[in-house]
Amino acid sequence: MRLTLKATVAALLVALTAAIAGGVVAATQSSDEAALQPTRGPADRSIERKVNNLLGQMTLEEKLQQIQLLSDGQITDEDARNGVGGVFSLTDPQRINQLQHIAVEESRLGIPILFAFDTIHGFRTIFPIPLGAASSFDPDVVSDDHRIGARESAAVGLKQIYSPMVDVSHEARWGRIAEAAGEDPYLNSVLAAARVKAAQGSDYSDKRKVVTSPKHLAAYGEPEGGRDYNTTDMSEQRLRNLYLPPFKAAIDAGADTSMCSFNAINGVPGCANEHTMLEILKGEWGFDGFVESDYTAVAELRACPPVNPDEGPCGHGVAEDGPAAGALALNTGVDSEMVSTNIRDFGEELLADGRISQERIDDAVRRILRVKFRAGLFDDPYVNPDRADDAQLRPGALRQARRAVGRSTVLLKNDGILPFDPSLKTAVIGPLGDNQHDMLGPWWGRGDDDDVVSLLTGVRGQSPGATFAQGCTLSNAEPPTEDPEGCGSDAGFAEAVATAEAADQVILAVGETREMSGEAAARSNIDLPGMQEQLIEEVVSATDKPVAVVLFNGRPLALENIVDSAPAILEAWFPGVQAGHGVADVVFGEVNPGGKLPVSFPRRVGQVPIYYNHEPTGRPCDPNVKWNSRYRDIPSCDPLFEFGFGLSYTTFEVSNLRLSRDSVGPNGSLQAFVDVSNTGDRRGDEVVQLYIHDPVASISQPVRRLRGFERVRLARGETRTVTFTLDKSDFGFYDNSGEFVVEPGRIDVYAGNSSKADMSASFEVR
């Protein structure tokens, strides 16, 4: 039965894609078939003709080579001559050009190579990590990041980026929470679409543009226990309501490639997942680009120990050996195999044995060629290495990166001490106070530590003569080491206290090293590593100076132990190359912080996963009542800082929520209006947030769901009205059979400046 279904879906897709490619799309189609209609215009017809023409000339061996994607460490001249499809992580424009010349001039059909790279938050001009940029609640910030990242990448000869990373996550322990936009599907969707559009433009054959690859399909952000690569088990409604929307948004924005994930969902690995790759991505969404596997993810389908250890790692145990893994991946929707070589190596034998079909091989190759034609590679395959450097680290890019830091910083607490006066004597203290390396975060592209403005340098630029004491040193070492996180001794604390004493105001820079987040960097404890809490305690209690804690980190931290003693806390994330300037702008009030948390900050790690858009329970949490959904040892049901929270140096009032109508048909829409006023004494930004809740539904609905936000800048005393439109994409939801349903009944709307928004109004869906 399963095989039949798989074969049917695969065959349907292959047949339809072939029909589309031939420009023959029947006028009467089922809705599934209709979903596969090409959305592009006549320009693509000529591309399809070229693709078919080329495909018709290719041998089986050449087709299998196109399916192969090799790393910078693997690629040889011979691979290029044999017509390999893609290469990633190679960024030297001379070598890229050399290989491209071999591919175009010496391979039989002259098909150019697609060169790819992980330009996640910048190539050379590194922007704040995506979790940080998400705090801006500003699509312009991520657009700047991806426009500049695309230009710098394209300038060295890259034409694909493995970005945006769109994995919604509730897992603060997971290191890769740093790479996407946090816990909310709507925020992730808006920012994913903005990143795709900025990197690709309206036509990614443009020399400054690249094709994007939203990843990792799917639900990679929810590994059990927060350990990277670990298994995920979830309902269909969760998959569709929480994890898939950012992928859909990225595909709708034009993303033409996507990467399947390492993890298994419900026992089915991402790169063997017919449901996500074939039925949903290529079927329901009509995606006509290609899917690349993640790094060795095809080999990892094999059982351990592997029949042939030379074929890379093993693990999932859904394929007996390399040939079985290659067949499974190809048959379930993988078009391009990264690093492992099962489809290429065993394709011929698999085809002869009838385990894969010629149609499916052609479909995969057609998708790859289609993207290469759209990318303009056949017209203009080469890069000019002499111009590659000119595109990097341009002054305008650095200005945008600095602005991004200011907009991404979140003020978590302020007892009235910030902003500091730059003419007073400032001390910078802490292990990350004069640091360049860690500021780049866990994906630093081709960013260079030397490019980075450290916090101390940035502070000295505005408060000359600022002093410095490190207090302790964090560790970049891989465990097991004696002191894996570093800051294991208080030997430098006395000097830190003395330096603070001698100044008028103190910036205390603490957090994580960049090695503590990102891939394969889960932490079971999300407190400040080492003795940094004690360092804060000592500096605050031993002096009477105002102390502002600045956090550099890649995940939500548990700050329960420092939140009362620290007079001010700024969350700066890993801010990138302009770290010091951008953070100094906020500390000294050049920039009034307006960022908001894209992820909940728990009080302690034991609360994880904790997220604002949870479902209600029959025993809603009450910390003081037994028989409720609570922790008996935490006197609160809330996180320490909730999703959407962030302060400013001014104050705002969000008021007067009203709706344009009190009822709406299932296909209708309505507007919500909210007033926002700056009630303080300086100009500032507020993020007005609109949430909804469906109180009675066929399946329990989240207590709040973000469905609109707008960051507005207001002069003091100014009031503005923000308008949001709601339609069924907002008040409908997916049920457990995967159907999108719009149910009649009341919908509650909440407006405010965090997920605790309690001003409400209601309307009826008829």
Return the exposure string of 77-105: e unless at least 16 CB atoms fall within 10 Å of the residue's CB, then b: eebbbbbbbbbbbbbebebbbebbebbbe
* Ordered DSSP codes for 162-180: ---B------TTSGGGGGS
- The CB-of-87 to ligand BGC minimum distance in angstroms stands at 11
Judged by beta carbon, residue 215 or residue 360, the one nearer ligand BGC is 215
Cross-strand partners of 116: 88, 160
> What SS3 class is residue 550?
strand
Residues 360-389 that bind ligand BGC (CB under 6 A): none
Tokens encoding 732: 């409908």
Residues 719-748 that bind ligand BGC (CB under 6 A): none
Interface characters, 81-100, with ligand BGC (x: CB under 6 A): -------xx-----------
Judged by beta carbon, residue 336 or residue 475, the one nearer ligand BGC is 336
Label the pairing between strands 114-117 and 86-88: parallel
Residue 451 is classified by DSSP as G
Judged by beta carbon, residue 139 or residue 445, the one nearer ligand BGC is 445
Interface with ligand BGC (CB under 6 A), residue from 79, 256, 294, 585: 294
- The CB-of-254 to ligand BGC minimum distance in angstroms stands at 19
CA nearest to 730, candidates 745, 697, 746, 708: 708
Residues 653-712 that bind ligand BGC (CB under 6 A): none
Unique residue bearing structure tokens 């503005």: 720
State yes or no: residue 162 binds ligand BGC (CB under 6 A): yes
Judged by beta carbon, residue 294 or residue 533, the one nearer ligand BGC is 294
State yes or no: residue 519 binds ligand BGC (CB under 6 A): yes
- The CB-of-590 to ligand BGC minimum distance in angstroms stands at 35
Judged by beta carbon, residue 279 or residue 294, the one nearer ligand BGC is 294
State yes or no: residue 118 binds ligand BGC (CB under 6 A): yes
Residues 295-324 that bind ligand BGC (CB under 6 A): 295
Question: For helices 2-21 and 322-332, what crossing angle results, to 10°?
Answer: 60
Residue 721 is classified by DSSP as E
State yes or no: residue 115 binds ligand BGC (CB under 6 A): no
Cβ atoms 405, 128 nearer than 8 A: yes
746 dihedral zone (left: phi>0; alpha: psi -120 to 50; beta): beta
> What SS3 class is residue 251?
helix
Known catalytic residue at 294 = yes
Judged by beta carbon, residue 129 or residue 610, the one nearer ligand BGC is 129
- The CB-of-262 to ligand BGC minimum distance in angstroms stands at 6
Judged by beta carbon, residue 62 or residue 311, the one nearer ligand BGC is 311
Cis peptide, bond prior to residue 437, ω within 30 of zero: no
- The CB-of-223 to ligand BGC minimum distance in angstroms stands at 12
- The CB-of-275 to ligand BGC minimum distance in angstroms stands at 21
How many residues belong to the site for ligand BGC (CB under 6 A)? Answer: 8
Distance separating alpha carbons of residues 595 and 604, to the nearest angstrom = 23
CA nearest to 396, candidates 404, 388, 407: 404
Judged by beta carbon, residue 89 or residue 473, the one nearer ligand BGC is 89
Distance separating alpha carbons of residues 113 and 103, to the nearest angstrom = 7
State yes or no: residue 72 binds ligand BGC (CB under 6 A): no
Residues 746-765 that bind ligand BGC (CB under 6 A): none
Judged by beta carbon, residue 220 or residue 287, the one nearer ligand BGC is 220
Judged by beta carbon, residue 341 or residue 592, the one nearer ligand BGC is 341
- The CB-of-691 to ligand BGC minimum distance in angstroms stands at 31
* Ordered DSSP codes for 280-320: IIIIIT---SEEEPPTTTTGGGBPSSPS-GGG----S-SBS
CA 285 to chain CA mean position, Å: 20
- The CB-of-196 to ligand BGC minimum distance in angstroms stands at 16
Tokens encoding 199: 């990197």
- The CB-of-215 to ligand BGC minimum distance in angstroms stands at 6
Contacts of 633 (CB under 8 A, 6+ apart): none
Residue ranges with strand state E in 311-396: 337-338
Cβ atoms 295, 228 nearer than 8 A: no
Interface with ligand BGC (CB under 6 A), residue from 147, 215, 514, 596: 215
State yes or no: residue 247 binds ligand BGC (CB under 6 A): no
Distance separating alpha carbons of residues 271 and 289, to the nearest angstrom = 16
Question: For helices 342-352 and 322-332, what crossing angle results, to 10°?
Answer: 90
Unique residue bearing structure tokens 């190809």: 330
- The CB-of-70 to ligand BGC minimum distance in angstroms stands at 12
- The CB-of-336 to ligand BGC minimum distance in angstroms stands at 12
Distance separating alpha carbons of residues 201 and 194, to the nearest angstrom = 10
Helix (H) or strand (E) holding 508: strand 505-511
Phi, psi of 725 (to 5 degrees): -110, 135
Nearest residue to the partner ligand BGC, using Cβ: 162
Distance separating alpha carbons of residues 576 and 299, to the nearest angstrom = 34
CA nearest to 174, candidates 514, 606, 522, 554: 522
- 294, 434, 438, 730: which is the annotated catalytic residue? 294
Judged by beta carbon, residue 215 or residue 603, the one nearer ligand BGC is 215
Residues that bind ligand BGC (CB under 6 A): 88-89, 118, 162, 215, 294-295, 519
Active centre residues (catalytic) = 294
